[in-house]
Structure 1
Amino acid sequence: MRRVHLVHFYSAPGGIEVLSSRLVGSFSGHSFRVFVIRPRAEDQLDVYEGTDIPVTCGSGSNSVALFRLWKYARSYRNDVFHLFNLGPYFLLALKLAGARRIIYSIRGTRYWTNNFQQIVRRLLWRLALSRNMKVIANSEYSRQVFLEKVSRRPEIDVVYNPVGSVRFAPATHERKPGMMKIVYAGRLAPGKNLISWIETAAAIHTTLDNTLFEIYGSGPLEQQLHDKITCLSAGSYIFLKGYRSDIENVFREADLTLFLSEYESFGNVVVESILCGTPVIASGIPSMQEIFRDYPLFLLSTEEDIAEQVIARLRDYEALLSAAGNACRDFRKRFSEEAYIKKLNAIYTSFND
């Protein structure tokens, strides 16, 4: 049985972290261990808690975390290492430790914030990447950004995030008329545009007072979001609900998922919502355009007022619901767990001994 080491930056609930912890038992012929760069904070949720998967932690210090990862990889250098969206420093640490079977998953689109970082990190990427590494991306968009910004050297396969499982399915009961529930689910973190989400919710509620809004997730912006809701005197119709492990039930009970993220390499939650039969309205960023390529009704224009666009579509809710039904059938095949497991299994077993 071949051993595979999953390397995450955090073990807090995020799209790929939740999926990885849930799917590891579906891979035949492999056993799994996990290395997490940042140890869990005292009040932080851990997706691997309660599982029988061994977890090793790095450190809050980058230099210490790099050394611990190098030492860990040195001990298991003949195993398979699968890194999820870590920077070139950690990839280089594995390479220097002698790890020979490395899979690097591109799951982001932002690699630097200034010219100095660009120069340094591009050089480190060139040192860290090698021809015998396998590089995969979770969307055509994240693949293209990596090739344009970071390196054109590696051959990159696209392996879409697995979402289409029996867990995500439409509710068996009909939707009840009355209050319309609009939700967000995901990390409460920068880049998710959640202040704008709250402002948009308040603007929608001013016109459509039969609406209420719920935000599900945990993250560093929680207090800031709470303060914003208080500032807008919106506490009677906008609620912070915390993290829910049964997010499928959140989607089934909702009438709409509103997703206004500024950047995403993919976007699990919008697919999960559709698979539960719940329509989505999302910002028209490239990854959302890729997901909803055949369903433009779900995409917002950047040239028009967001709240007005959402209100107009809610007034023709049956059209949204019908489009969600069509997309649900399409997505169940396009983003299936079976396809993901089959493709990743083949990659895990493709390394020559």
Structure 2
Amino acid sequence: MPLAISNHALRMSGGIERYALTLVRGLHERGIRPVVLAKSFDATLPEYQWVDAIHVPVGFLPGKLRDMWFDWRLRRLKLRLDLRPLIACNQTGAADIAICGSTHPGFLEAMQRPARRIDRWKTSLERSHLENARVIVAHSRLMAEQVQRFYGIHADKIRVLYPPVDALRFHAVSDDAREALRAKLGLPTGRATFLLVSTGHRRKGLDRLVEFFRATDLPVSLAVAGRPIDVAAPNIRYLGYLGDVENAYRAADFTVIASRFEPFGLVGIESVLCGTPIVVADSVGCAEVLREAGGIRFSLADDASFERAIRQALERWRDGSHRVRDVSAALAYDPSVQTHLDALLGEAARIGMA
């Protein structure tokens, strides 16, 4: 029985896509060639050569129906091809191991949005994903708690496994190389630069950050990588879409995560591995694994706490103690790919599917 992974796509994109790519890379290092089922593939990636790809086309359908069609096809392909265990990164009732990197009701609650018909469809599909699976892998305690609260699933079925990060890509560089990157990106001297990586600005809290950085007279600047911004301010800079976001992490002094909803926040761990601490809302999933050397927490419910966090970061920047020199002192878990795979494949063995 071949090991199978399903996801919306195998490509460089958001957090769950990076997670699926990381799993494929880790399995390749072990000599395991999984079956990957997806709506689309980037055939230029090396990972594409390391899998048996099954393309499930959905483009002929209206956008709102594509996830449900994908689920329907996955269920039938799993039975016909005997694909077990199926590690599902997307919402599908075919999952044996359901990866929970988010919950739709949690997103609606955090964004203060009412549930429309499409939201009810998404929640129904997510319920099938979680209830039918043999085990749920939650990417944070926050997600484990939401699975229990919104879906009534018993804690015994849930395993918290924080997601891995590819250390071959995300790692620190020398001080000289870092200074060269700062110059290349045009980051200012004499100011501490805080990096926001965002493709969904409202969820990522860009409005709150702009309000603060526009008004402050502290020696700080905000650099935004990702979707374009419509902001004009002397100490706010747009870096564009970056295929090498790891270099932006290395160049910045801090990465800031002020998201209204962030189930985990891989950017935080990626940043720390690149030597750059984070300033992070305590409601963000990755704050659960942050040690003092890794950064500073603040509360979204207390505007004054954000300014205190920035001032505390500035103190570290001024005395030169802010850089992360020892990842183990900054994070309370091992983000290595193989450690994560050991646990994930251990869950497959535990339910008798390895």
Equivalent in the alignment of 1:202: 214
Deviation at 1:350, TM superposition (A): 4.9
1:145 aligns with 2:146: yes
Letter paired with 2:8:
H
Please report the TM-score for the alignment, with normalisation by the length of structure 1. 0.75
Cα deviation 1:288-323 (Å, max 9, x = unaligned):
441225569601244243345414531442568357
The answer on whether the counterparts of 2:5 and 2:35 sit within 8 Å (CA) in structure 1 is: yes
1:31 counterpart (5, 16, 34): 34
CA displacement at 1:248 relative to structure 2: 1.9
- Structure 1 CA distance for aligned equivalents of residues 134 and 128 of structure 2: 12
Counterpart of 1:184 in structure 2 is 196
Which of 84, 88, 99 lines up with 2:89 in the alignment?
84
8 Å CA contact 1:278, 1:321 repeated in 2:
no
Find out whether 1:324 has 2:327 as its counterpart.
no
- Measure the CA separation in 2 of the matches of 1:254 and 1:25: 27
* 8 Å contact from structure 1 (residues 260, 282) kept in 2: yes
Q: Work out the CA distance in 2 between the residues paired with 1:132 and 1:281.
A: 35
Q: Secondary structure at the match of 2:203?
A: coil
Query: What is aligned with 2:285?
Result: 287
Check 1:273–1:286 CA distance in 2 against 1; reply closer, same or farther (3 A cut): closer
Q: Distance in 2 between matches of 1:317 and 1:129?
A: 44
8 A Cα contact 2:294 2:331, kept in partner: no
Q: Which consecutive residues of structure 1, in runs of 5 or more, have no partner in the other structure?
A: 40-45, 95-100
**Paired residue for 1:303?**
302
Structure 2, unaligned runs of 5 or more: 180-188
How is 1:50-199 mapped onto 2 (pairs within 5 angstroms)? 50=45, 51-52=48-49, 53=51, 54=53, 55-59=55-59, 60-77=62-79, 78-79=82-83, 80-84=85-89, 86=91, 91-92=92-93, 94=94, 102-111=96-105, 112=108, 113-114=113-114, 129-130=130-131, 133-153=134-154, 155-163=157-165, 165-173=167-175, 178-199=190-211
| Residues 64/136 of structure 1: CA separation in 2 closer, same or farther (3 Å cut) | closer
SS of 1:324's equivalent?
coil
Change beyond 3 A, Cα 1:123–1:151: farther
2:246 maps to amino acid: E
Aligned residues: 320
Q: Residue 87 of structure 2 contacts residue 96 of structure 2 at CA under 8 Å; is this kept in 1?
A: yes
Alpha carbons of 1:178 and 1:47: their partners in 2 closer, same or farther (altered >3 Å)? farther
Cα deviation for residue 156 of structure 1 reads: 0.5
**Matched-pair contact (CA < 8 Å) for 1:275–1:331:** no
Partner AA of 1:137 in structure 2: A
- Partners in 2 of 1:297 and 1:338 — Cα distance? 25
Pairwise CA RMSD of aligned residues?
3.5
Identity of aligned residues (%): 19
Counting only pairs closer than 5 Å after superposition, residues 246-265 of structure 1 correspond to structure 2 as: 246-265=244-263
Q: Tell me whether 169-178 or 27-36 shows the greater mean CA deviation.
A: 169-178
**1:35 offset after TM fit, Å?**
1.5
Indicate how the Cα distance of structure 1 residues 23 and 10 shifts in structure 2: closer, same or farther if over 3 A, else same: closer
- TM-score in terms of structure 2 length: 0.75
